[in-house]
A and B are shown apart, each in its own frame.
Chain A
Amino acid sequence: MPIESINDFVVRFANVNGSGSASANQLFAKSVMRMGVPVAPRNIFPSNIQGLPTWYEVRISEAGHRGARGGTDMMVAMNPQTWDKDVASIEPGGYLFYDSSRPIQDSKFREDIVVLGLPLTNICNREFTDPRQRNLFKNVMYVGALAALLDMDMAEIEKLIAEQFRAKEKLIASNHKVLRMGYDIARETFQCPLPMRVRRADRVGDMIFVDGNTAGGLGAVYGGATVCAWYPITPSTSLAEAYERYCARLRVDPDTKKKKYAIVQAEDELASIGMVIGAGWNGSRAFTATSGPGISLMQEFLGLAYFAEIPAVLFDVQRGGPSTGMPTRTQQSDILLAAYASHGDTKHVLLFPEDPHETFEMGAQAFDLADRLQTPIFVMIDLDIGMNQHLCKPFKWDDTRAYDRGKVMSAADLDAAKDWGRYLDVDGDGIPYRTYPGTHPTKGVYFTRGTSRDRYARYTEEAAPYVDNMERLLHKFETAKTIVPQPVLTKAAKPTRLGVIYYGSTAPSMSEAADKLAAEGTHVDLLRVRAFPFSSEVTDFIAAHEQVFVVEQNRDAQLRTLLMAECSIDPAQLVPVLNFDGNPITARFISKAITDHVARMQARSPKVLS
């Protein structure tokens, strides 16, 4: 039986990297969104530039499920290299759309799927002479054919094409023509639409469709970053590029054409973080964007920034490690690396945005926190958030919002102060007052070093001032708990002794999994952790539940380790649920893991759990 579904299915495109399919696939996804139906697209791409297989998966979900679902209902198979695997991955009753220009043996198909072939290459070869056009238009043509098959609104697609090519009338016209060609020939060849189709809805509202790296770069612009030093690394590169793009538009003085920002592509990540620290020391808001290997290289400097108390912001767009690992796949595997970065006793503040909306928000907030706490702040996203477009709440900014520049002494403050010492804890919150170089001719000068010093920044190797300083840093970390983003609690419909802790890109799949579990009678309270150090809400939540699942995307249960170590939690109370194969975690995976565990618990003591 062919799959019947309205607004709830997954289309997967199998393409060759560099064939120009990306913009056509995006056009498809965006058209569905313009019909008011939520989409969640994901790129699955290799670490190369041209020739290797790539996939683009579009989950269409009127219910608004934005996590990866797993499985494919319709495969658009445009890559002969991966044909066998692609065909095999289609759900029974699913659809295979392919280019039938070259004959394919019967044995290469499946009995239990619907096969839809159109000779796209032949048509393009017939219609166009330019080899580049022949290739590119094949992609637009399949979008037209899908529009017919899935009952999509051609007017929306045409409008998107017009927006994409703006004033280039000739390009718009030719793309429209090819789109229509694909549409018409599909209607002539097949019975359109299919039982699986898109229907206009009203579930998108004012949401925006954007990738997390763009959001992070824009967050840095709004957050007041003026210095960006970075070294290219997938999947973080597009964050620095987005910052540059927005700055070029929004941060150039209209009269002088001079820039209110400085971007340096450094020679490596050591230099990137060195520049960020130098700029932070000198009173600019500065950041870097990198991924795990970069954070590894920055370790010594991060210890310096922690100990010398210098603000810095790092966007860590996590990928599969260790070493080069899976550079184009997603993971949350830098948690411990970042939390305890550097030698000696160090701890760092981490933020865990769940999507591009929060990446913008926390990206901007990170600069306030860095200035307030005078320490590095890590914005921990991952490839899934960073490089895939997500439907999310629109970005928000309050024009009355001033930057919190933290405790900085002006020349007047210094004149008024009785006794200033760089590392004096005047307010009892562990946060000292600093000065920018050059502020006052005779006051507020101090020497910054990674070597121990007393409260007046005087070099000393004495035990007591060293201990005093290290304890104050710990006290400052306690203060951090109260000002970082607090966790978000979602109570189950019924009282339950089961809790779930999760963070970052796991969020959409987790809420879908919770719905699924609830429908099956398993109720779980949810706590989405948004920052490290953990506030008391996190420990209270754990204390209030008998078993707490900690869902993450790494092998070693890194956040669970952090919870055990920092909150003295009994390991037996925290059940790891771990996906680390490089693909985004799915609701299916989470709900199965939880269901299986609950079943095992019930087998042991049948009465306990609801």
Chain B
Amino acid sequence: MSYLAKPKFHHPAIETNDLGFTHRDYEGSISTLCAGCGHDSISSAVMRACFELSLPPHRIAKLSGIGCSSKTPTYFLGQSHGFNSVHGRMPSVLTGANLANRDLIYLGVSGDGDSASIGFGQFAHSIRRGVNMVYIVENNGVYGLTKGQFSATSDQGSKSKRGVVNTDSAIDLVATALQLGATFVARSFSGDKTQLVPLIKAAIEHRGAAFIDCISPCVAFNNHEGSTKSFDYVRDHNAALNRLDFITGREPITAEYDPGTTQVVRMHDGSMIRLAKLGADYDVHDRIAAMNNLHTRQADGEIVTGLIYMADESSDLHDHLGTINQPLNELNAPELSPGAKTLESINAALR
């Protein structure tokens, strides 16, 4: 934990983005998490991604549930509205917020307890509905905030810090999201910023439910030997499918890529990502193959990371509902009240 306030001076050579913002404009308050907590690395990846995409911070809404992970929105994007809701219910609050104003960018931050235990239902249903959001689970396999109980993503056979062996089988949120129809599914590791930052950028650009399961070791309760969510274990078993390269500026792709190892993927808004394939013949657009690959490699003890699946076409809840383009929260009586004359005819039909 660091108690030193960071000085706010501006170095002339400091990096700025298209909006003229520096990285500092994307920061939040100082983290109160344990030093070395994986969650803090995810926060920096979020800041970096938003900075690189030149997003105006005030157009982002960050919502979370309860947990160490859910606390993190306080520690990034200080110029964004945030909502720390109740345990496991971020998805419904985010859904409602999104319905009210489709023009903001919605960032949902949750933990494995928050999303795979108490909030498993809300996680599933928000994905099913295709809410336009980035949904990040900071997955440490334990309840950090309540001090180290197993969560539903703890692997069967993994050991708690006190030596208790978990006998329940684990929920794989990536497999679940794929099954539920998420149109963007990725897994990453808090310790791998080069992979995580472009994934977050791609997820933000994606329209529809974009889900990222980010393994994020808890240094206080789940970083010991016998844990399958420790830094060492994840590094040893990480099987990255691809390397992502986010091409900003929407310029046409000029470079030639070897089709066997590189795949260029067009995002909904026209921007591109370039995927350097690490595994052979992996097609991110094939959902069934993605599920197969995930299960096969998992059976071999590997943790599949990278962009696991992205739908060719995607739509979101607003498309499904057929709502108007203007945010609903901008409408007032002139647009919403059908008026006295209409009411008179309704009365007449009730006589």
Contacts and interface: CB of A to CB of B under 8 A. Distances in A.
Interface of A: 204, 206-210, 218, 221-222, 224, 226-227, 229, 246, 250-251, 253, 256-264, 266-268, 270-284, 286, 300-301, 304, 394-399, 401-403, 405, 435-442, 445-451, 459
A278 B96 contact: yes
13 contacts: A209-B350, A222-B343, A224-B332, A251-B336, A259-B324, A260-B323, A260-B331, A271-B121, A304-B85, A394-B347, A396-B340, A396-B343, A448-B84
A275 B90 CA distance: 9
Interface in B93-125: 93-101, 103-104, 121-122, 124-125
Given A258-B322, A267-B122, A395 B347 contact: yes
A276 B96 CA distance: 6
Interface stretch (B75-83, B178-186, B222-230, B233-241): B75-83
Contacts of A445: 58, 78-81
A258 B322 CA distance: 5
Given A222-B338, A446-B81, A449-B83, A277 B93 contact: yes
A403 B121 CA distance: 35
A600 B343 CA distance: 50
Contacts of B339: 397, 399
A226 B100 CA distance: 8
A438 B347 contact: no
A5 B341 CA distance: 40
Counting from the closest, the 4 A-B pairs by CB-CB distance are: A278-B96, A274-B92, A284-B100, A437-B81
Nearest to A449: B84
A261 B80 CA distance: 26
B333 A282 contact: no
Contacts of B321: 259, 262-264
Given A263-B321, A278-B92, A279-B96, A441 B56 contact: yes
Contacts of B328: 226-227, 260-262, 279, 284
Given A271-B125, A438-B103, A447 B335 contact: no
Interface in B292-351: 317-318, 321-325, 328-329, 331-333, 335-340, 342-344, 346-347, 350-351
Contacts of B56: 441
A264 B81 CA distance: 24
Given A221-B336, A272-B92, A278-B97, 20 more contacts: A204-B351, A258-B322, A260-B331, A270-B92, A271-B92, A274-B85, A274-B92, A275-B96, A278-B83, A278-B85, A278-B96, A281-B96, A282-B329, A300-B86, A396-B340, A402-B333, A403-B336, A437-B80, A438-B101, A450-B86
A281 B351 CA distance: 39
Contacts of A209: 350-351
Nearest to B342: A250
A390 to B, nearest CB: 11
A16 B146 CA distance: 55
A275 B92 contact: yes
A54 B73 CA distance: 55
Interface string B46-82: 0000000000111101010000000001100011111
B211 to A, nearest CB: 17
